[in-house]
Chain A
Amino acid sequence: MTEAVGWYPVAASHDLPVGHIYQTRLFDCPLAIWRASSGEVNIWQDRCPHRGVRFSIGTALGDELRCQYHAWRFASGSGSCTLIPAHRDRPPPRTIRATVYPVVEYGGLVWSSIVDGESHPPIFAHGVVLRAIPVFRPAAAVEGALTSLGLRDVKFFVQPIASDRSVIRGVAIDDASLLEYDALLERLRRELEAS
């Protein structure tokens, strides 16, 4: 699928309590996203370089992520491997590291960039981040349907999961209509997925 230049929202800030590993995909690239105890957000390819096990079934331990298979540990920020328990008497080879993607946390959302272009995600007025609604339809179709809604007090961003799947991420000016917007988006999803 063609990947557009720029930044895409891949999570909400509220999706990332410390000690949790969040899982998503962007343009079919699996991502493991976690917040270290320092507050720093990490977006890594969801795959341990050792034997290809998903990081997202692992454990976030403070400032390190531990892989579920052999308990290898990887540092927040650099993604460098910091511990190989089978050989804990020596430091891990420097070449072993997680694949790290760019991350910006802004406006209550977490953004990543597949192809560096713009220096910052789109600027918008901060508000209340709505519940994310995954839809089994391409991003373009979903964007079109959202525009047709003509809502003025919500800004929508659409994350392309894969060519046939996306996630609606809305930011409302306040939380007065949270439930209404939620019901509206669920109905929109039903309509899109039925067509």
Chain B
Amino acid sequence: MDLVLWNDWHVVADANTLDEHRPLRTALLGVPLRIARDKGGSISISKDDGGLVHGEVRHGFVWACLGLPAQPIIDIPELGGEAKCAVSAGAMAVYASAGRVIENFLDLAHLGYVHAGYLGAEPNTMVESYEVTGTKDGVRATRCKTYQPIRRQSKSQDFLGEYVHVEYNYIVERPYIACFEKSFADGHRFMVMYIFAQPVDEEHTVAHTLLILLDEIWDVVQMRAAQQLVFMQDKGILENQFPKRLPIGAGMEMPVRADRTSVAYRRWLADCGVTYGVIRSPMETAA
């Protein structure tokens, strides 16, 4: 088991929606877990064999570490006051590996197709050049431009508005956690979104997402509905990707210039020594 995953914190549940009458059964890195909330509100994580699991509640989520935490849970600075509202969209399971889920989150070229009418549309689906840096600490992609229907003021219940230019900055600092900041063309940052991909096993993932709006408060139910809709659109793609485990060896799939963030992400996973949920060489490939 990869120590980089074993000794890291992973989100396993939304702390606010745990039902005290019904403990949540899930799994992390193939290990079954039971997450319960008591009347007093305390949350516990237990394994079938009763073994120890480090657990914490942070940013509204339940985090678990199966080994010895090598670093703290990531910081989300916007939750310290800058955020006007922060909504967890609800954990959604997908029959895909965590690496595939993260890579889809980082992908620009599908926004106008898979999410046509929501996050982009023809004919504005060309992907302009953007900047990518990969270091030992992670991957950053900045000034990723696209054209989306965003309503700047929440005058109606509808999120969709006129098409405007937006820019995404993507940050990956853990193998299966990613975020982006969205800004208007004038540089004004208005949204931050996190995805915490819980690797249930090598081919199954639970995606936990956190949407943070910096300008105004929007209706929670509307935000959840919009984010779940977008996720379900991705689910239709993710579950039809093969092989399920993310190929991170060179030359295994065919990237183009628009895919530079994905290429850097795959290379970083390889450098981190990740083997779980990925395919490192063509010899390992199943159908």
Contact = CB atoms under 8 A, between A and B. Distances in A.
Q: Classify A-B as touching or not with yes or no (CB < 8 A).
A: yes
Interface residues of B, number: 24
A107 B45 CA distance: 62
B254 A47 contact: no
A85 B110 contact: no
B254 A96 contact: yes
Interface residues of A, number: 24
Contacts of A68: 113-114, 236-237, 240
B125 A29 contact: no
Contacts of B243: 52
A87 B114 contact: no
Contact of B287 (A29, A70, A96): A29
A89 to B, nearest CB: 7
B237 A85 contact: no
A50 interface: yes
Contacts, number: 68
A28 interface: yes
A127 interface: no
Contacts of B287: 28-30
Interface string B86-109: 000000000000000001000011
Given A53-B237, A70-B109, 11 more contacts: A29-B287, A50-B254, A50-B255, A50-B256, A52-B241, A53-B240, A68-B237, A71-B113, A87-B126, A87-B256, A93-B256
Interface of A: 28-30, 47, 49-54, 57, 68-71, 84-89, 93, 95-96
Cβ-closest 4 pairs across A and B = A86-B258, A86-B127, A86-B109, A54-B240
26 contacts: A28-B287, A47-B242, A49-B254, A50-B255, A50-B256, A51-B103, A51-B241, A52-B247, A52-B253, A53-B241, A54-B241, A68-B113, A68-B236, A68-B240, A69-B110, A69-B113, A70-B109, A70-B113, A70-B258, A85-B113, A85-B122, A86-B108, A86-B126, A86-B258, A87-B256, A96-B254
